C-alpha cells in the first residue's frame, strides 16, 4: 500500500504546481538574462571601441606631420613606437606598413590578430576598419586606418600608401561580460528556489481545502452525517465546500426522516405484540383444558376446539418471536456469557427437542471445545437452523462443530447445518435471513413464525459472529455460523467487548 | 393439594390461569392487586405464589420484597419478554423462578411443582448425617434448617436447595447448567441468571464478606464450588 501512495502523491496536484512554477521561472529568468546580456555586452564593447578608435585617429593625425614622406625603415620604426605610446594604461601594439615595408612597436611582433582580409579592406576602401577577434582564447580589438593626404582645393583625399594598425586586448571588457554572465547565473538559482517555494505555498493553499473535503467525505461515508466544512472566502473551493455542506445537510435530513419512520414502524410492531400478549396469556392458559376435554365432545366441536388450541400456540410463538425481534431492534438484547462445553450444549439442544435420532452429528469430544457464549442464545441459533433444515430441506440433516483459529478474530467455533434437499434457489439465497421471507414457490404458510432465521442472525450478530447460507456442491443447503470463543475474557471485572451483567 | 395464590391484574388471564391450575389439581386463590395479594397471603396461607410483575399500584417487585421480609413461600414471577432488568431485580429480591407470558398451564404447573419439591426433603438426604458443620455454618439436612454463628438463617426454598446441593459434594465444581438442572429442574439451556442471583442472595444471607466468600466460591469459567477454605 506504501508505494502506490507515494506514487500518487508524486503525480498529484502539488507536483504539477511545482513543475509549472519552476518552468515559468526558468523561462522568465533565461529570457530576461539573455536580453540583458546581449544589450549590456553590445553597450560595453561599443563604447570601448569608439573610445579606442577616436584616440587612435587623433594620435595618428597628430604624429603623421612630424615624419618625412616617403618614410624609410627607420622612420617606420620610430612612427610605430611613437603611436604606441598613445595607450593609456599600457602601450598599444602598433603595426605600421608602407608599401612592402612594415614596422611594429614591439620588435618581432607577428601581429597574428591581423587578418589579410582586413588589410585588403583598409587598402581598398581607404577607411578606418575595425574587427573584434579572439586569439588564443583572448579577445582583442584590431583597428586599421590608412593615412591620406589632405587635399587643399578639393575634397578628394588620395591614399599615401601608409597604413597603421592597432591591437588592443579587451581583457577589461571581457571581465565585464563575464561578471554579467555570473550575475545572471547567480540570480537564476534563488529565482528557482523562490519559484518552488511559492509553488508549494500555492499548492498548500489549494490542497488544504481539498484535503478537508476528502476527510469530510470519508467521514460522511463512515456514517457521521453531521460532518460539515468550515467555509472560508468566496472562491471556487469555498463554493464547493458550501455545496458539500448543503448536500450533507440534505442527506442527514433524509436519513433522520427514514430512521424516524423506521423507528415508528418498529415501535408499532413492538406495541402490537405487547398488546396481543395479554389476551394470548389468557388463551394460552386454557388451551390445555381444551385439549383435555376435546375427546369428550362431538367431532365438529372437538375439531374446532383443537384448531383453536394449536393456532393459539402458534400465535403465542409468533408474538414471542416478534417481541424478541423488537428487543433486538431496540438494542435491548443483552449477552449473558458463560463458559460452556459447546458440543455438550449442541447435544442438549437436539435432545431437548427430540432430534437426537433424526439429526446426524459431528461434534468434538466432551471438554475439547469450550468457549464463552450465551448458552440460551446458542441454543436458539442452533435450534432455528436445524428446525429450518428439517422443515424446508430433506434428510439427512447433519450438524457439525469444529474450532478454527482466525489470525484476526482469534479462536472461533464453526457450526454448520446441512440438509440433503435440493438446496436454496440462487434468487432466494440473499433473502433467507429476511423477516417473513417466503419464496415464490412456497406460498403456503410454513410451520414456523417466519422469524426464526432472522432471530438467528440477530443472535449471531450479538455474539460478534457471522452466519451465511450457501448451497453445497454435492447438493443441499449449508448454513454456517462462526462465533468468537473469547477464551481469554475474564469471568468478571475485566472489560469485555460485550455487555455483561454478571457479577 | 397444593395451595397456589395468583396475583394478576388482568381478569381474563387471572380467570384462565385459575381455571387451568385448578384442573391441574391445585387449590387456587386469586388477587387483582399487590395489596390484596399481601392480604390473601396472610389469610389463604398458600404453598406457592404466582406473581405478575406488571401490577397497577404496588408493583410486583415491591410485593416480592414485602413477602420476603417475613415469609419464605416460593414465588414464581410472571413477566413479559423484554422486562430483562425486572427479571434480574425480581430474582435478587427473592423470587425463586420466573415464566414468560404467555405461558401454557402445563408449563406453569411444572414450575410450581418443581419449586414445591425444593421445599420438601428428598430421599437422597436420608443416608447422610443429620447435621453438618462447615466452619461457622451448621446445616441440618433432615430438619432443613441452617444456622450461622448459632443464629438461624431464613433461606428461601431455592437458596436452601442450592446450599444443600453444593454442600452435599463439598469441593466439587458445579457448572451453572448443572445447578439449573439439579435445583430448578430447568433444561440445560435455562437462564443462568437464576443461579447467579440465587448465589448472591445465599452469600448475603450467610454473611459472606463481599469479594472474599468463605463457603460458596466462584470458579472462573466453570461455575460454583462449596467448601470452607
Question: What tens digit of pLDDT does each residue of B45-63 get?
Answer: 999 999 998 888 898 999 9
Q: By CA distance, what is A488's nearest residue in B? A: B221
Which of A94-103, A268-277, B30-39, B181-190 tops mean pLDDT?
Answer: B30-39
Write the burial class of residue B176 (CB in 10 Å: 0-12 exposed, 13-18 middle, 19+ buried).
Answer: buried
- Predicted confidence band of residue B128 (pLDDT cuts 50, 70, 90): low
- A345/B189 touch (CB, cutoff 8 Å), yes or no: yes
pLDDT of the residue at A490: 44
Q: How many helices (H) and strands (E) does chain A have?
A: 10, 12
pLDDT of the residue at A500: 37
Rounded CA separation A481/A472 (Å): 15
A147-156, A279-288, A414-423: range with lowest mean pLDDT? A147-156
pLDDT of the residue at A487: 63
Averaged pLDDT for residues A164-168: 85
Residues of A in contact with B220 (CB under 8 A): 490-492
Residue B19 has pLDDT above 90, yes or no: yes
Residues of B in contact with A348 (CB under 8 A): 187-189
- Which of A278, A370, A375 faces B189 most closely, judged by CB atoms? A375
Residue to test with chain B: of A269, A274, A275, A285, most B Cβ within 10 A: A285
Residue to test with chain B: of A282, A345, A353, A384, most B Cβ within 10 A: A282
Q: Residue A295 is placed in which grid cell?
A: 375427546
- A288/B20 touch (CB, cutoff 8 Å), yes or no: yes
pLDDT tens for each residue of A346-383:
999 999 999 989 999 999 998 889 888 999 999 999 99
Residue A103 has pLDDT above 70, yes or no: yes
Residue A499 has pLDDT above 60, yes or no: no
pLDDT of the residue at A488: 59
pLDDT of the residue at B74: 93
Averaged pLDDT for residues B30-57: 92
pLDDT tens for each residue of A293-332:
888 889 999 999 999 999 999 898 888 888 888 888 888 8
Residues of B in contact with A340 (CB under 8 A): 175, 177
Number of A–B residue contacts, CB under 8 Å: 115
- B10/A288 touch (CB, cutoff 8 Å), yes or no: no
Give Cα A382 to chain centroid, integer Å. 46
pLDDT of the residue at A446: 56
Closest CA to A432 of A389, A398, A371, A379: A389
Contact B81, A320 (CB under 8 A): yes
pLDDT of the residue at B88: 86
pLDDT of the residue at B174: 92
Residue A495 has pLDDT above 50, yes or no: no
pLDDT tens for each residue of A23-39:
888 888 888 888 888 88
Residue A152 has pLDDT above 70, yes or no: no
Q: By CA distance, what is B102's nearest residue in A? A: A281
| A498: CB partners within 8 A, 6+ apart | A335, A337, A462, A463, A464
Contact B182, B167 (CB under 8 A): no
| A444: CB partners within 8 A, 6+ apart | none
Residue to test with chain A: of B4, B25, B82, most A Cβ within 10 A: B82
Rounded CA separation B214/B228 (Å): 6
Q: By CA distance, what is B18's nearest residue in A? A: A285
A192-201, A360-369, A371-380, A481-490: range with lowest mean pLDDT? A481-490
Q: By CA distance, what is B174's nearest residue in A? A: A340
Residue to test with chain A: of B87, B189, B190, most A Cβ within 10 A: B189
- B188/A492 touch (CB, cutoff 8 Å), yes or no: no
CB atoms within 10 A of CB A42: 10
Write the burial class of residue A122 (CB in 10 Å: 0-12 exposed, 13-18 middle, 19+ buried).
Answer: buried
Helix (H) or strand (E) segment spanning residue B179: helix B176-179
- B13/A281 touch (CB, cutoff 8 Å), yes or no: yes
Averaged pLDDT for residues B8-35: 93
pLDDT of the residue at A481: 95
A370 and chain B in contact, CB less than 8 A: yes
Residues making up chain A, counted from first to last: 503
A345 and chain B in contact, CB less than 8 A: yes
pLDDT of the residue at A10: 57
Strand partners for B52: B78
Residue A503 has pLDDT above 50, yes or no: no
Averaged pLDDT for residues A160-167: 84
Peptide bond into A441 cis (omega under 30): no
Contact B8, B33 (CB under 8 A): no
- Predicted confidence band of residue A151 (pLDDT cuts 50, 70, 90): low
- A503/B104 touch (CB, cutoff 8 Å), yes or no: no
Residue A5 has pLDDT above 70, yes or no: no
A276 and chain B in contact, CB less than 8 A: no
pLDDT tens for each residue of A205-243:
878 888 888 899 999 888 888 888 888 877 888 888 889
pLDDT of the residue at A139: 78
- Predicted confidence band of residue B224 (pLDDT cuts 50, 70, 90): very high
Taking the CA of residue B139 and the nearest CA in chain A, the distance in Å comes to 26
Residue B149 has pLDDT above 70, yes or no: yes
- Predicted confidence band of residue A501 (pLDDT cuts 50, 70, 90): very low
pLDDT of the residue at A154: 57
A279 and chain B in contact, CB less than 8 A: yes
Residue to test with chain B: of A284, A322, A501, A502, most B Cβ within 10 A: A284
Task: Say which residue, A7 or B179, is predicted with more confidence.
Answer: B179
pTM above 0.80, yes or no: no
- Predicted confidence band of residue B151 (pLDDT cuts 50, 70, 90): confident
- B10/A339 touch (CB, cutoff 8 Å), yes or no: no
- Which of B19, B105, B188 faces A348 most closely, judged by CB atoms? B188
A200 and chain B in contact, CB less than 8 A: no
DSSP secondary structure, A267-326, as one string: HHHHHHHHHHHHHHHHHHHHHHHHHHHHTTS-HHHHHHHHHHHHHHHHHHHHHHHHHHHH
Task: Say which residue, A126 or A7, is predicted with more confidence.
Answer: A126
Taking the CA of residue A383 and the nearest CA in chain B, the distance in Å comes to 11
Give Cα A400 to chain centroid, integer Å. 46
Checking DSSP bridges between strand B151-153 and strand B75-80, what pairing results, if any?
unpaired
Average pLDDT of chain A, as a whole number: 83
A346 and chain B in contact, CB less than 8 A: no
Closest CA to A394 of A429, A415, A414, A421: A421
Average pLDDT of chain B, as a whole number: 87
Residue B102 has pLDDT above 60, yes or no: yes
Checking DSSP bridges between strand A359-362 and strand A397-406, what pairing results, if any?
parallel
Amino acid at each position: 500500500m506504501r508505494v502506490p501512495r507515494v506514487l500518487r502523491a508524486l503525480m498529484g496536484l502539488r507536483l504539477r504546481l511545482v513543475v509549472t512554477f519552476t518552468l515559468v521561472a526558468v523561462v522568465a529568468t533565461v529570457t530576461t538574462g539573455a536580453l540583458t546580456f546581449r544589450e549590456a555586452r553590445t553597450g560595453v564593447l561599443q563604447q570601448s571601441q569608439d573610445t579606442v578608435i577616436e584616440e587612435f585617429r587623433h594620435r595618428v593625425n597628430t604624429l603623421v606631420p612630424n615624419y618625412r614622406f616617403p618614410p624609410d625603415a627607420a622612420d617606420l620604426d620610430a612612427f610605430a613606437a611613437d603611436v604606441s605610446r598613445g595607450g593609456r594604461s599600457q602601450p598599444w601594439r602598433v603595426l605600421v606598413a608602407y608599401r612592402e615595408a612594415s614596422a611594429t612597436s614591439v620588435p618581432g611582433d607577428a601581429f597574428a590578430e591581423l587578418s589579410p582580409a582586413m588589410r585588403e579592406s583598409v587598402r581598398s576602401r581607404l577607411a578606418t576598419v575595425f574587427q573584434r577577434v579572439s586569439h588564443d582564447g583572448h579577445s582583442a580589438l584590431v583597428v586599421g586606418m590608412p593615412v591620406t593626404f589632405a587635399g587643399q582645393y578639393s575634397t578628394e583625399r588620395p591614399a599615401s600608401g601608409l597604413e597603421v594598425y592597432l591591437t588592443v586586448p579587451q581583457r577589461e571588457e571581457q571581465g565585464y561580460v563575464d561578471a554579467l554572465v555570473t550575475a545572471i547565473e547567480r540570480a537564476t538559482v534563488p529565482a528557482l528556489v523562490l519559484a518552488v517555494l511559492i509553488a508549494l505555498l500555492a499548492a498548500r493553499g489549494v490542497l488544504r481545502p481539498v484535503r478537508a473535503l476528502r476527510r469530510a467525505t470519508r467521514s460522511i461515508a463512515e456514517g457521521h452525517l453531521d460532518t460539515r466544512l468550515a467555509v472560508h472566502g468566496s472562491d471556487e473551493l469555498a463554493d464547493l465546500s458550501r455545496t458539500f455542506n448543503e448536500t450533507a445537510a440534505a442527506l442527514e435530513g433524509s436519513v433522520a426522516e427514514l430512521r424516524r419512520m423506521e423507528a415508528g414502524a418498529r415501535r408499532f410492531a413492538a406495541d402490537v405484540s405487547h398488546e396481543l400478549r395479554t389476551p394470548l396469556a389468557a388463551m394460552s392458559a386454557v388451551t390445555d383444558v381444551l385439549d383435555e376435554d376435546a375427546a369428550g365432545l362431538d367431532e365438529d366441536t372437538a375439531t374446532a376446539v383443537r384448531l383453536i388450541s394449536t393456532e393459539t400456540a402458534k400465535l403465542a410463538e409468533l408474538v414471542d418471536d416478534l417481541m424478541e425481534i423488537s428487543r433486538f431492534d431496540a438494542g435491548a438484547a443483552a449477552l449473558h456469557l458463560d463458559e460452556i462445553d459447546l458440543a455438550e450444549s449442541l447435544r442438549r439442544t437436539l435432545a431437548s427437542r427430540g432430534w437426537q435420532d433424526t439429526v446426524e452429528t459431528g461434534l468434538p469430544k466432551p471438554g475439547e471445545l469450550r468457549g464463552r457464549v450465551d448458552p440460551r442464545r446458542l441454543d436458539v441459533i442452533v435450534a432455528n437452523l436445524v428446525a429450518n433444515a428439517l422443515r424446508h430441506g430433506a434428510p439427512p440433516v447433519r450438524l457439525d462443530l469444529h474450532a478454527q483459529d482466525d489470525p484476526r478474530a482469534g479462536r472461533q467455533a464453526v457450526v454448520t447445518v446441512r440438509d440433503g434437499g435440493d438446496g436454496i434457489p440462487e434468487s432466494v439465497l440473499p433473502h433467507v435471513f429476511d423477516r417473513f421471507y417466503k419464496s415464490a414457490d412456497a406460498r403456503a404458510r410454513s410451520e414456523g413464525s417466519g422469524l426464526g432465521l432472522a432471530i438467528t442472525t440477530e443472535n449471531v450478530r450479538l455474539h460478534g459472529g457471522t452466519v451465511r447460507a450457501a448451497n453445497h456442491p454435492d447438493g443441499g443447503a449449508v448454513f454456517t455460523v462462526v462465533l468468537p470463543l473469547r477464551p481469554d475474557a475474564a469471568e468478571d471485572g475485566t472489560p469485555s467487548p460485550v455487555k455483561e451483567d454478571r457479577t | 393439594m397444593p395451595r397456589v395464590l395468583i396475583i394478576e391484574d388482568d381478569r381474563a388471564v387471572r380467570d384462565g390461569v385459575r381455571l387451568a391450575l385448578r384442573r391441574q389439581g391445585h387449590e387456587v386463590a386469586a388477587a387483582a392487586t399487590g395489596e390484596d395479594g399481601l392480604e390473601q397471603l396472610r389469610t389463604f396461607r398458600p404453598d406457592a405464589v404466582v406473581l405478575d410483575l406488571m401490577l397497577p399500584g404496588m408493583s410486583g417487585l415491591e410485593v416480592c420484597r414485602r413477602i420476603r421480609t417475613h415469609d419464605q413461600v416460593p414465588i414464581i414471577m410472571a413477566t413479559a419478554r423484554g422486562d430483562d432488568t425486572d427479571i434480574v431485580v425480581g430474582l435478587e429480591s427473592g423470587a425463586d423462578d420466573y415464566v414468560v407470558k404467555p405461558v401454557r398451564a402445563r408449563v406453569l404447573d411444572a414450575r410450581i411443582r418443581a419449586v414445591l419439591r425444593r421445599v420438601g426433603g428428598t430421599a437422597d438426604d436420608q443416608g447422610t448425617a443429620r447435621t453438618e458443620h462447615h466452619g461457622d455454618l451448621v446445616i441440618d439436612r433432615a430438619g432443613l434448617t441452617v444456622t450461622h454463628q448459632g443464629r438461624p438463617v431464613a433461606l428461601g426454598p431455592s437458596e436452601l436447595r442450592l446450599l444443600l446441593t453444593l454442600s452435599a459434594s463439598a469441593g466439587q465444581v458445579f457448572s451453572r447448567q448443572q445447578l439449573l438442572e439439579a435445583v430448578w429442574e430447568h433444561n440445560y439451556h435455562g437462564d443462568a441468571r437464576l443461579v447467579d442471583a440465587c448465589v448472591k442472595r445465599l452469600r448475603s444471607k450467610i454473611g459472606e464478606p463481599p469479594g472474599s466468600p468463605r463457603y460458596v466460591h466462584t470458579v472462573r469459567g466453570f461455575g460454583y464450588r462449596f467448601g470452607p477454605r
